[in-house]
A and B are shown apart, each in its own frame.
Chain A
Amino acid sequence: MSKQQAIPIIFNQVKQINWPTLNQFLSATALPIVGIVIFIGLWSLMAKNIDTSLGQFPGPSAVWQQANVLLDEHNAQMDKADKFYQRQDERNAVRLAKDPSYTPKIRAFTGAPTFLEQIWTSLYTVMVGFIVASLLAIPLGIICGLSKNAYTAINPLIQLFKPVSPLAWLPLVTMVVSAVYVSNDPMFSKSFITSAVTVSLCCLWPTLINTAVGVSSIDQDLLNVSKVLRLNALSHVIKIVIPSSIPAIFTGLRLSLGIGWMVLIAAEMLAQNPGLGKFVWDEFQNGSSESLARIMVAVLTIGVIGFALDRLMLMLQRKVSWDKSAVLR
C-alpha cells in the first residue's frame, strides 16, 4: 500500500469512527468551556480599557478577589455574632443578680447582614412570592381553560395588568402593606411582605396564561375518554386536565420564576428592602474603589442563582411530566 492510498483510508476511518463521539464531546463540554474562556478573555480585555471615576472596571481577577473578601467578611461577622451572644449572656447574668425580677431574653445579633445572608433573604423572598402566585394562578388558569366564559371575563384584566412593570406596583404595595399589615409582634417584617407581594404580582401572569392555554388545548380524544367514563368535574380535572397540561403549566412556572427573580432584585434596590438588590445599591452608594468589583460579584451570583432556579424547575418538570420522551430545554 502506498502512502497516498493509506492517508485517505486512515482519514476515512478517523472520520467514520471518531467524528460522532468527538462531536458529542464537543457539544457537551468543550463548547461551553470555549464560550466561557472567550468571554473571560474579552471581559478582562475590555475591563482594562474602561476607566470609571471609581477606578478601572473590575476584571475577572478583581472580582474573584472580592468574592473571597466577601466570604471572609461573612466569617468575621459570624465570629462577631458568637462574641455578641457571649457578652449578652454575661450581661443578662449581671442584671439578673441586681434585678431578680428581670426576665432575660436572648436577642438576635444586631450586626449588618453579610453577602451570604443577603443571598438567603432574596432566595427566601422570591420562593414565597412565587409559591403564593402559583397557588393563585394555576387554579385560575384551569378555570379559564375549562370555561370559555370565564376566560372571556378575565382576559381583559390579564391583558391590562400583564405589561405593568413591577416598579410601578411597588409604591402602592409599600403603602398598602404598611397600612394593612399592623401588628405589635409581626411574624414577618414589612419589607419582606412588600417584596414578596411585588414578586407575586409579577409572577401571576405567565403561569395564568400558559395554564389557560394548556388546558384549553387538551387533545379531543382525552376529553372524549373523560366523557365516556362519565368522570365528575373533580376527577376530570385531576385525572385528565392537570396531567395533560403539565408541560404548559411548567412552561408558565419557569417563565414566572425567572421574572420573579428579576423583579425582586429591582424591587429590593428601589425599596431598600434587605436582599441582593440592596447589596448592589449600597455598594453603588459607597463609591469605594472596590465597589464595582463587589457589584460584579453580586451580578454573577444573581445570574448563577437564576440559572440554578431554572434548572430546578426543569428537573421538577421532568419528574412530573407524563411524556418522558418530550424534549425539554
Chain B
Amino acid sequence: MIPLSWYLILAAALFCIGLYGVLARRSAVAILMGIELMLNAVNLNLVAFWRYLTPSLIAGQAFAVIVFAVAASETAVGLALIISIYRRRATTVADDINLMKW
C-alpha cells in the first residue's frame, strides 16, 4: 500500500502549483483555476487522512463533499464577476482590475 506521506507530498505539490498560479498568472480566469487546484489539494489531504486514520467515520468524506460544493459555487460567482467586468472594461487581467484602490 502506498504510504500516506506520498499523498501528502502530492497534495502539497498541487497546492504550491495552485498558489503559484494564483499569485503569478495575469488572467483572472487562470487565477480562478489556481484556486481550484488549491482547493482540490486540500480535498486530497482530507480524503487521504480519512482513509488512513479514521476509515470508520464519514466526516472526512463529508468535508470533502462540502469543499466541492463551495468550490463550485465560488467558481460560479467568480466567473460571473469576471464576465461582468469583462463586459465593462474589456479585460480579464487582474492587475487592471484595481477597483478597490483608494
Q: Do A and B come from one complex?
A: no
